[in-house]
Structure 1
Amino acid sequence: MLKRLVLSAALGLAALGLQPLDVAAQGSNSGRAICYNCPPEWADWGSQLKAIQAKLGITVPPDNKNSGQAIAALIAEKANPVADVTYLGGIAADPAKDAGVLSPYKPAGWDKIPASLKDPEGFWFTIHSGTLGLFVNTAALRGKPVPQSWADLLKPEYKGMVGYLDPTSAAVGQLGVMAVNLALGGDYGNLDKAIDFYKKLAKNDPIVPKQTSYARVISGEIPILLDYDFNAYRGQYTDKAPVQFVIPKEGSVVFPYVMGLTNKGPNAANGKKVLDFVLSPESQAMWGNAFLRPVFAEHLSADAKAKFLPDADYARAKPIDLKQLAGAQKSIIERYKNEVN
């Protein structure tokens, strides 16, 4: 299934307007590094890219691929690599390693990263994480109470108001299935709890987009979306929208985002400097200011932490097991497609 998804993403690159960067134009500049899946609007990568330019003198062009598209491009370009580093959702970390498109590199600060959040050989490592929950536009609820649990989403009063990304194509959609499954008493090997939940939710006319739908929540088109805390806090504090984040009472999961050095990238030395930077105190604090949990918690400022829900709420969110999640990916897609969709 992973190969089919990667091939599908590769075939779709042109249609999405996400062709690989031109090697001659981009790869020959010694003051440049190419990062796949570093979109300026996501996780405030825009500020990071500016900081890398200012601090390192290295220009990193923005890139709007997602994880699947990034891996597809890296595979397609194996014989003539374009990218130097890549950023990926944690579920894509080992598949990228297994595809042979990453090269081991242990950046400054490597030893401080928990073992569960990095590849032991250095093929990838976590830079920050997000917690999955409910991203709610309170104004769009039209007077209805803000849901506080997964079970609340099944209530008739929220008919047509709940959204989640399609689990057959979006990593956050797959993570949502597993988050619900674990919260309701299931495990990585048995998805019955989640499938039953999604079947019931299907009767409530959910909205199921294929792509990230931040703007649709901000506008109120999707009143409730299964999404990450950092998107909700961005809406609340940066865009000043009437939104809030809820960690369901039954529990949820924490999902890491990783980076790695690409195999035989044209500007490998610059790529390594970029990877060192994203774990630096300055960069880690910037991730926190963009409402992501830096992998080094001590760099989350008091001001940023004050905007997160209390620690007591976050105690309900448990770290996802990346290997078990990746192992369940095929089952999540197939069972959703066959039993829910």
Structure 2
Amino acid sequence: MSHRHTVIPATATAAALALALTSCGNVAAPEGTATGDGEIVITYNSPTEWGNYGRVLSTFTERTGIQAPNDPKNSGQALAALQAEKGAPVADVAYTGIAFAEQLTDAEVLQDYIPEGADQVSDDLRDPDGAWTTVHTGTIAFIVNEDHLDGAPVPTGWEDLLEPEYEGLVGYLDPTQAAVGYSVATAANLALGGTLEDWGPGLDYLDGLKENGASTSAQTATAKVAQGEIPILIDTDFNGYKLRDEGADVSVVIPEEGSLQIPYIVGLVAGAPNEDNGRELLDFYFSEEGQGLFAAGYMRPVIGDLPEDVAERVLPDEDYERAVTIDYIEQGARQQEFIELYQDEVGF
């Protein structure tokens, strides 16, 4: 199952990426949105079921009276929408995986704003001019519904998922659209011997998953894990812990060969129609309460540590030592290269 991989220069423009993503669909504003009325703030890519985002935004509304609807886009769809709406912005705040940071700034869809408290975030996790700041991190993990494995054991590593006993049981988000999907591909590639300049091991692996019946989704798929439709979802650890707390019989597994930490970023949209509300929301994200709400959803805060009661309910530190950090800006610059290779050699 080997391929010859042609390395494509990582110089594709953000406009090219947006063109590739315009077919994603769902790039409209949240239903019922009104803009410019001073009583609402629109934040793209904030699904209710993603970590604790539903509670983060509802609490902000409770504190301020400003309506803050959740929005189901993924990172790629958010970028495409922001570019399409650049002449008449709809959103006030954007949230994406850090792999999209450079594309957002190159597209000039964000404006510089350093939220209150964000100066405590380490320099490598924020734009020097304030266009974006990491708000929390997660880790690529297997979310496993043990009730729907058809007798197979809980997998412990990447290679396990290629075994016949897991045929048709695995899913992950589309890596050409979703930041977490691209991070899954990056994690597998690095764990199996690849680099950001060599996608060969990862592409071979994802091709093997496809041959073993894996599925991809554009949107957050954790509900499908709870229902047993996707018994093994490769996603973020915090979504697995949340499902467990909601009563699903799931295990969270950091693959034994290695994994990847993922920073998630936020920024103020250039020309935001409710700019003051956008600033207030970003300030809330980095407040003690805001960071605590992200942490309550197992999304590791960038200011302070996981609260002790939360830390007691997650995997031990030695499991997380297998999750590496990388040059995330380079990861973002290599994204279009990866997308073209993936579409050519794997595809779905």
- Matching residue within 308, 325, 328 for 2:314: 308
Does the 8 Å CA contact 2:73/2:219 hold for their aligned counterparts?
no
- 2:193 corresponding residue in structure 1: 185
Q: Which residue of 1 aligns with 2:19?
A: 7
Unaligned runs of 5+ in 1: none
Superposed, 1:287-298 pairs within 5 Å as 287-298=294-305
- How far the C-alpha of 1:38 sits from its partner, in A, is 2.4
Quote the residue 2:268 is aligned against: 261
Change (3 A) 1:276 1:47: same
More off after superposition, 62-71 vs 97-106: 62-71
Q: What number of residue pairs does the alignment pair up?
A: 335
Report the alpha carbon displacement of residue 5 of structure 1 after superposing the two structures with TM: 4.1
Query: Contact (CA 8 Å) 1:135, 1:246: kept in 2 or not?
Result: yes
Q: Quick check: 1:83 aligned with 2:91?
A: yes
Report the aligned-residue RMSD: 2.1
Aligned in 2, Cα 1:7/1:334: closer, same or farther, shift over 3 Å? closer
Distance 1:38 1:176 in 2: 19
**Contact 1:165–1:210, Cα closer than 8 Å, also in 2:** yes
Tell me how far apart the structure 2 counterparts of residues 8 and 194 of structure 1 sit (CA, whole Å). Answer: 21
Match of 2:222 in 1: 214
Q: Counterpart of 1:336 in structure 2: which amino acid?
A: Y
Question: Which stretch of the first structure deviates more once superposed, 117-126 or 103-112?
Answer: 103-112
Specify whether residues 127 and 7 from structure 1 end up closer, same or farther in structure 2 by C-alpha distance, changes over 3 A only. same
Alignment map for 1:8-23 (pairs within 5 Å): 8-10=20-22, 13=25, 16=26, 18-20=27-29
Please give the alpha-carbon distance, in whole angstroms, between the structure 1 residues aligned to 2:28 and 2:174.
24
Find the aligned partners of 2:154 and 2:130 in 1 and give their Cα distance: 43
Name the residue aligned to 1:337. 343
Q: Structure 1 residues 314 and 12 mapped into 2: Cα distance closer, same or farther (>3 Å)?
A: closer
CA distance 1:126–1:200, shift in 2 (3 Å): same
Q: 1:143 aligns with which of 129, 133, 151?
A: 151
For 1:246, the equivalent position in structure 2 comes to 253
TM-score by length of 2: 0.89
8 A contact 2:43–2:68 mirrored in 1 = yes
Matches of 2:90 and 2:172, distance apart in 1: 33
Deviations 1:135-168 (A, max 9, x none): 1111111222111111111222222222222333
Report if the CA contact (8 A) 1:102-1:123 is conserved.
Answer: yes
Range with bigger deviation, 187-196 or 253-262: 187-196
Conserved in 2, the CA contact under 8 Å of 1:123 and 1:261? yes
Q: Where does 1:276-291 land on structure 2 (aligned, <5 Å)?
A: 276-291=283-298
SS in 2 for 1:53: helix
Task: Give the drift of 1:12.
Answer: 5.1
Deviates more, 1:261-270 or 1:52-61: 52-61
The answer for the alignment partner of 1:114 in structure 2 is: 122
Corresponding residue SS for 1:208:
strand
The answer to whether structure 1 residue 158 and structure 2 residue 155 are counterparts is no
Equivalent residue letter for 1:324: E
How far did 1:208 drift? 2.9
Normalised by the size of structure 1, how large is the TM-score?
0.91
Give CA-to-partner distance per residue, 1:239-271, whole Å, 9 cap, x none: x11111100111100111111011121222221
Asked if the contact 1:26/1:34 (under 8 Å) is kept, the reply is no
**Counterparts of 2:244 and 2:163 in 1: how far apart (Å)?**
25
Shift of 1:93: 1.7
Q: 1:201 to 1:259 in 2, by over 3 A?
A: same
Give 5+ residue unaligned stretches, structure 2: 1-11
Q: 1:69 to 1:164 in 2, by over 3 A?
A: closer
The CA deviation string for residues 167-213 of structure 1, in whole angstroms up to 9 with x for no partner, is: 33333222111101111222110112212222333332222333322
Could you say which residue in structure 2 is the equivalent of 1:36? 44
Alpha-carbon offset, residue 61 of structure 1: 2.6
- Which residue of 2 is the match for residue 105 of structure 1? 113
| Percent of aligned pairs sharing the same letter | 43
Distance 1:221 1:125, change over 3 A: same
Pairing 1:54–2:66 present: no
Counterpart amino acid of residue 177 in structure 2? S
